[in-house]
Structures are given as C-alpha cells and as structure tokens.
Amino acid sequence: MFRSEDAGRSWRLVRALWDHPGRKEWFGGGFVDPGIHSICVHPRDSRRVVVGVSCGGVWETRDGGDTWSNIADGMRAEYMPPERANDPGIQDPHQIVQCAADPEWLWAQHHNGIFVRPVADEPWRELNAPVSSFGFACAVHPHDPRTAWFVPATKDDKRIPVEAKLVVNRTRDGGATFETLRTGLPQQNCYDLVYRHALDVDASGNGLAFGSTTGGLWASDDGGDSWTELSAHLPPIYCVRVSD
C-alpha cells in the first residue's frame, strides 16, 4: 500500500503495514500473491482507514497509517481447516465498502458469505442471502447504511450466475432480509461474472451500474428495482464508477 500527500505527484510505501508481523500470514486468493483491493477512508477523519486483503483479512489504522490492527474478527473461512476457520489473518474478503453517511457501518462480500459490521470494535456478523452468498462486488447506499447490493454467483466450481440467471440481491434492513432483483436482467444463458470493483452506486443512492467479464453493462435509476442493458459487447469490465 502506498500513500501520497501531494495529489499523486509522489508516493511512499506505508511501511507500518508492509512490516507488520501479521503480513507473514497472508496468502494469495485466486492469485499467487495476496492483494489489497479495498481502501475505505473515513469521510470525517482521514487518519482512519480500513483496507481489505485477499487473503489477509481486514486491517484498520486510526493514526494515519502509523499502526495497524486486523479487524476481521467474526469472519469465517470455510476453505481452511476447522481449527483455523475463524483466524482473522487468513480471511478472504472480496470487497469492503463503507457507508459515507455512517462510516462505522462496513459491508463485506467475502469468499464464502456476506458480512456486516455496524459498530466499530465489534465482530463481523455473517448473513445468508438468497440464490447465493458468494460473489465479488458489493455497494452500500451513501445515506442509508442498512441498504446494500450484491451480485451473486456460483461458487468455486464455476464462476457464473446461478442457473445462468443474472440477479442482484438487495437488503434494506441491515441484512435481516434480502430481495432478489431480476427485472431487465438476462434470465437464461447468462454467464456474466461481476468483479469486485464493477458495481457502483451514485450519490443519491438511486442510480447504480455494473459491468461483467463478458462485456455486459447494466444501469438502474430506481435503486435496483429494474435494470437497463447499456451494452452487451464491451471488452471485459473490471471497474465501473457512476458519476454524481
């Protein structure tokens, strides 16, 4: 992880994280080497940062990067032997997102489930979603921390939508219940996988868009109730951002 203090003109390695003894536990999740993929900066205190590591857990600093703590307590890694399944240092979060209006709320799409942490310093709580709790992408409403979206897929054996039907799961009550949204999305012969950075929500919380590995791009202006296909023939889409 690198940090810039001059708008990107120069960068320096965050040595406290690089040299942390816990980094020796990290290992690759899908790739040979571990990777930092999610960086959540507290909107009212830039010294507080949360990062997600695959496979290395969830790390937080509250002093601008001088010290780091693994805050993955409560996560479960079913791909590990039972005695290590709850070890924070080997967890595989696929994506971590933070609510802008209530940044204590963190959502995670993990390798084997969906997790939420509404309160700082408390363990994560695992949730079960319909269709599948596996996936890569997640997004949280900028004003309502209890509303979040996920794009499920079949797990390790075949990374495609379940039953070749593309859907979006949405919760509006902090994960107590989920709705499966299908309107406007292909419901047969669909093999689109959505990567971790390929789902986004706008500043209003109503506009969403996501793209897929096979070049599909969909958008919604009603919070995900219905979707419009913008393109089906783009190159593989790795990242989507919705402008305000």
Q: Which of 14, 12, 108 is nearest to 57 (CA)?
A: 108
- pLDDT confidence of residue 156: 79
- pLDDT confidence of residue 137: 97
Render each residue's pLDDT in the chain as its tens digit; 244 residues.
999 999 999 999 999 999 999 999 999 877 778 999 999 999 999 999 999 999 999 999 999 999 999 999 999 999 899 999 999 999 999 999 999 999 999 999 999 899 999 999 999 999 999 999 999 999 999 999 999 999 999 987 789 999 999 999 999 999 999 999 999 999 999 999 999 999 999 999 999 999 999 999 999 999 999 999 999 999 999 999 998 7
Burial class (CB in 10 A: 0-12, 13-18, 19+), 80: middle
Burial class (CB in 10 A: 0-12, 13-18, 19+), 12: exposed
How far apart, in whole angstroms, are the C-alpha atoms of residue 118 and residue 144?
12
- pLDDT confidence of residue 46: 93
Structure tokens at 90: 């080997």
- pLDDT confidence of residue 32: 75
| Contact between 95 and 108 (Cβ < 8 Å) | yes
How far apart, in whole angstroms, are the C-alpha atoms of residue 243 and residue 194?
19
Enumerate the domain spans of the chain.
Answer: 10-127, 134-244
pTM score? 0.95
- pLDDT confidence of residue 243: 86
Structure tokens at 124: 């994560």
| Contact between 152 and 127 (Cβ < 8 Å) | no
Total H helices, total E strands in the chain = 1, 18
Question: What does the DSSP 8-state code read for residue 237?
Answer: P
| Contact between 103 and 43 (Cβ < 8 Å) | yes
168-171 and 148-152 beta bridge pairing: antiparallel
- pLDDT confidence of residue 126: 97
User: Which amino acid is located at 136 in the chain?
Assistant: F
- pLDDT confidence of residue 33: 85
Structure tokens at 192: 């689109």
* Secondary structure class of 163 (helix, strand, coil): helix
| Contact between 162 and 192 (Cβ < 8 Å) | no
Strand partners, 40: 50
How far apart, in whole angstroms, are the C-alpha atoms of residue 199 and residue 132?
17
